[in-house]
Structure 1
């Protein structure tokens, strides 16, 4: 097989896994915000992302959209993308998606939350050199059980965690987070 054939095969396997993950999440939850993004990436980045998706359907792991009764949302500063994002990341093989999101929340913000369901379900499309694959970005909704934040990120990617009533302009997926807050709170 040539390298092109191998990449096509990897992308096909990734798509199949993403499809299963997406349908499981969609059938288990309701009233979530849904959106789609497309990213053009290098060939090596495409391979990395497709490998991740093949594992569990997720290119970026699972995340948590944490809110306080006041309507403030928790965001963390991710230095790798130089933006405010919802806490989250890689899901380990022995974890459910929600367990992975909860662990990442503790690492990145030092708090726990009462999980209520799925807040956002995104489809992320990746393109490179004529190849295409897609993955699922699940963002669980949760009510904060504590509000004192402490970053304990073992990866060193998260530099700050804060509560925001007014989301900063440099918030990843800002419009979708605001749509969720309008619907849910």
Structure 2
């Protein structure tokens, strides 16, 4: 992306991200909304602009998988060295939910019954004076299956059920709040 094009491309992708945000808000109800800003390098910004322009979601779609007892399923992502929700990129022929389901099968080796959208995050991505907006949809689903990762990208080193989330869990506080709200319902 040339410097002259960066502002235009960022604005164009932001429109795609906003459309995705409004589409998800209209389609689903009873979910937690979040806003987050992330500063990235110029090269990473350009990659995320391309992803948002293509799908609206710079980091794909994810699934918050739980068992009736409240345990949550997490996968160990080697690239960030954290426990995370299973999920990843959206392919051009997929809906967000289809991408979340495919990623769950690949990263944790389980199928689940989907209940809807759990968390919708509106992401603002910044690099220098440039910014764009995308979404991070997190669906909720239940299963009692034992996880067995079969990740073709080899990014996932483990998948486990957790009663108490490890300290090195990405977005730990948000997941704990969601679980507490879910168990009270």
Identify whether the pair has TM-score above 0.5, normalized to the shorter chain.
yes
Report SS of the residue matched to 2:110: coil
Report SS of the residue matched to 2:17: helix
- In structure 2, what is the equivalent of residue 184 of structure 1? 182
**Is 1:121 matched with 2:129?**
no
**Is 1:91 matched with 2:97?**
no
Question: What TM-score, normalized by structure 1, do the two folds share?
Answer: 0.96
Deviations 1:25-77 (A, max 9, x none): 11111121121221111111100001000011100000000000110000000
1:152 to 137, 150, 153: 150
Aligned-partner Cα distance in 1 for 2:178–2:40 = 28
Question: What TM-score, normalized by structure 2, do the two folds share?
Answer: 0.96
Report SS of the residue matched to 1:156: coil
Check the 8 A contact 1:32/1:180 in 2, yes or no: no
1:3 CA drift (Å): 2.5
Report SS of the residue matched to 1:150: coil
Aligned-partner Cα distance in 2 for 1:81–1:38 = 18
Give the aligned length.
183
- In structure 1, what is the equivalent of residue 45 of structure 2? 46
**Is 1:163 matched with 2:150?**
no
Aligned-partner Cα distance in 2 for 1:74–1:44 = 32
Check the 8 A contact 1:107/1:151 in 2, yes or no: yes
1:167 CA drift (Å): 0.6
Aligned residue runs from structure 1 range 22-37, under 5 A: 22-37=21-36
- In structure 2, what is the equivalent of residue 7 of structure 1? 6
Aligned-partner Cα distance in 1 for 2:163–2:32 = 19
Query: Please, which runs of 5 or more residues in structure 1 have no aligned partner?
Result: none
Report SS of the residue matched to 1:168: coil
Query: Please, which runs of 5 or more residues in structure 2 have no aligned partner?
Result: none
- In structure 2, what is the equivalent of residue 64 of structure 1? 63
- In structure 2, what is the equivalent of residue 137 of structure 1? 136
Report SS of the residue matched to 2:178: helix
1:16 CA drift (Å): 0.5
Deviations 1:130-182 (A, max 9, x none): 000121000000011x4211110000111000001111111111111111111
Which consecutive aligned stretches of 4+ in structure 1 deviate over 3 angstroms post-superposition? Answer: none
Q: CA-atom RMSD, angstroms? A: 1.1
